Amino acid sequence: MVSWSSNADERVFVNRSLRLEKITHFGFDMDYTLVQYKSPDMEYLAFNMAIQRLVDTGYPEEIKNFKYDPIFPVRGLWFEFQYGNLLKVDGFGNILGGIHGLRFLKNHDIEEMYPNKYLPLSDSRIYVLNTLFNLPETHLICHLIDFFDKHPDYSALADKTGVKAGEVMMSYKSIFQDLRRVIDWVHVESNMKQQVMADPEKYVIHDDRASRFLTQLREHGKKTFLLTNSDWAYTNVMMTYIMGEEWRSFFHIIVVDSCKPRWFAEGTVFREVNTEMGAYKLGIHTGPLREGVVYSGGSCDAFQKMMKCRGKEVLYVGDHIFGDVLRSKKSRGWRTFLVVPELVNELTVWTDSKPLFDELSQMENTLADIYKHLDGAARRKPVVKDIVDNIRKLTNQMDEEYGCLGSLFRTGGRTTFFASQVERYADVYASSCYNLVHYPSFYYFRAPMKCMPHEATVDHASTLRSRSNTLDRQESVGQQVRGWNKKTLNDQETFCHEEEEDEENTGSSSSDGEAAKRERTKSGSDDSSNADDLTPEQLHQDVITASPAFVENNA
Which residues have a catalytic role annotated?
Answer: 29, 31
Distance CA 349, CA 544 (A): 30
Q: Would you tell me the crossing angle of helices 385-402 and 354-372 to the nearest 10 degrees?
A: 160
Distance CA 534, CA 555 (A): 23
Distance CA 548, CA 131 (A): 10
In terms of C-beta density within 10 A (0-12 exposed, 13-18 middle, 19 or more buried), how is residue 414 classed?
Answer: middle
Alpha carbon distances (Å) from 428 to 20, 241, 472: 11, 27, 42
Distance CA 403, CA 324 (A): 27
E-strand stretches of 147-252: 155-156, 162-165, 168-171, 204-205, 223-227
Give how far the C-alpha of residue 323 lies from the chain's centroid of Cα atoms, to the nearest Å. Answer: 9
41 marked as binding residue = no
In terms of C-beta density within 10 A (0-12 exposed, 13-18 middle, 19 or more buried), how is residue 331 classed?
Answer: buried
Q: Which among 18, 31, 14 is positioned nearest to 334, based on CA atoms?
A: 18
Pairing of strands 18-19, 294-297: unpaired
322 contacts 261 by C-beta, under 8 angstroms: yes
User: Residue positions in the annotated binding site for Mg(2+)?
Assistant: 29, 319
Q: Which residues are annotated as a binding site for GMP?
A: 31
Q: Which residues are annotated as a binding site?
A: 29, 31, 319
